[in-house]
């Protein structure tokens, strides 16, 4: 008898103090008790996050599947369990109605341009797990550890003929593998012994090939693709290896964006978010920071009217 009266008073309170507005939203979820003595759940709906400035819209629910109707204007809700003898648990956090049960969309952040390496020799790990040294400067200057007025350098490159010079500068302008052997001798004939450097030179950026899953239809020099056609990017680098593929866009003539990393979902996202004209610039970089000249793709959408 006490239970029936309390229930009647609860519904009377809702009816006379807070008129029931038009139901505009519905959330479906399940309430699974983590204890056997939990009988019900209390749900409070709030218009704002300021709990001190309003009276909530209250609902009672039994454990199991819930169809929670959200009155118009209510943007938040929270839940607490009610156990035997009316023992109440703690309130949950205040959930937002519009985002409840949805995975938050990751906010893509612009990527910082890869800086060019400044060390003379930079180790780069290969696919096999080995480490190879890459020269980051086109010119190498040899400085004797003991500075003297007169010294000479005996050297050879890639097992070539031995040569002698008084100039400490060596140029490596072409990509490839090098073995530099040299010995510095002062005017007294004292040498610090033979030194050996083995390294590679890579000043060539990656090359990206752009294609589509289905070949475009050509008409009057213009390529046409369907909205469902996918784009394929293939970037290769014969030197230090591919670092990343970046892209930036301009939609409907707006200023071009920052660079972002290209991934599997990029094409669908940028295509669906641009209603009319789309300019895409694609550029790959290798692991030394060599950057490809951007390739441009211009797409204009046509209606079927």
* pLDDT, tens digit only, all 305 positions of the chain: 222 232 323 332 233 333 334 445 788 888 888 788 888 999 999 999 888 888 888 888 899 888 888 888 889 999 998 888 778 888 888 888 888 877 666 555 555 454 445 567 888 887 777 888 998 888 888 777 665 667 888 899 999 999 988 877 888 989 999 999 988 887 777 777 888 989 999 999 999 999 988 888 888 888 888 878 888 999 999 889 999 999 999 988 889 999 999 988 888 888 888 878 899 999 999 988 899 999 999 988 765 54
Give the whole-angstrom CA distance, residue 232 versus residue 248: 16
**CB of 181 closer than 8 Å to CB of 156:** yes
pTM of the model: 0.56
- State the CB neighbour count (10 A cutoff) for residue 39: 14
Angle at 31 between CA 63 and CA 67, to 5 degrees: 90
Give the whole-angstrom CA distance, residue 243 versus residue 180: 28
Identical topology for domains 2-96 and 139-201:
yes
**CB of 78 closer than 8 Å to CB of 91:** yes
Q: Which of 215, 214, 247, 212 is nearest to 232 (CA)?
A: 212
Burial 194-210 (b: 16+ CB within 10 A, else e): eeebebbbbbbbbebee
Give the whole-angstrom CA distance, residue 216 versus residue 224: 5
Residue ranges of the domains in the chain? 2-96, 139-201, 207-300
CATH architecture of the domain with residue range 2-96: Sandwich (2.60)
To which H or E segment does residue 9 belong? helix 2-17
CATH topology of domain 139-201: Immunoglobulin-like (2.60.40)
CATH topology of domain 207-300: Immunoglobulin-like (2.60.40)
Beta strands 95-96 and 57-61 are unpaired
């Amino acid at each position: 008898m006490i239970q029936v009266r309390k229930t009647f008073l609860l519904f009377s309170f809702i009816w006379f103090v807070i008129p029931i507005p038009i139901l505009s939203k519905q959330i479906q979820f399940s309430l699974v008790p983590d204890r056997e003595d939990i009988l019900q759940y209390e749900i409070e709906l709030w218009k704002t996050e300021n709990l001190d400035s309003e009276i909530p819209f209250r609902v009672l629910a039994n454990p199991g599947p819930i169809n929670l109707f959200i009155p118009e204007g209510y943007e938040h809700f929270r839940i607490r369990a009610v156990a035997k003898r009316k023992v109440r648990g703690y309130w949950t956090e205040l959930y937002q109605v519009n985002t409840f049960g949805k995975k938050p969309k990751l906010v893509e952040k612009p990527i910082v341009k890869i800086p060019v390496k400044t060390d003379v020799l930079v180790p780069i790990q290969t696919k096999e797990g080995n480490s190879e040294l890459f020269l980051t400067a086109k010119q190498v200057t040899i400085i004797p550890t003991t500075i003297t007025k007169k010294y000479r350098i005996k050297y050879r490159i890639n097992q070539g003929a031995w040569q002698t010079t008084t100039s400490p500068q060596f140029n490596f302008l072409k990509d490839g593998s090098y073995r530099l052997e040299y010995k510095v001798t002062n005017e007294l004939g004292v040498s610090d012994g033979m030194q050996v450097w083995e390294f590679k030179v890579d000043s060539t950026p990656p090359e990206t090939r752009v294609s589509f899953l289905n070949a475009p239809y050509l008409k009057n020099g213009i390529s046409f693709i369907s909205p469902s056609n996918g784009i394929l990017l293939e970037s290769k680098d014969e030197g230090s290896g591919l670092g990343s593929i970046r892209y930036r866009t301009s939609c409907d003539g707006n200023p071009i964006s920052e660079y972002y990393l290209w991934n599997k979902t990029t094409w669908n996202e940028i295509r669906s978010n641009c209603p009319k004209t789309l300019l895409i610039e694609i550029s790959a970089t290798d692991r030394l920071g060599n950057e490809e000249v951007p390739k441009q793709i211009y797409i204009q959408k046509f209606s079927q009217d």
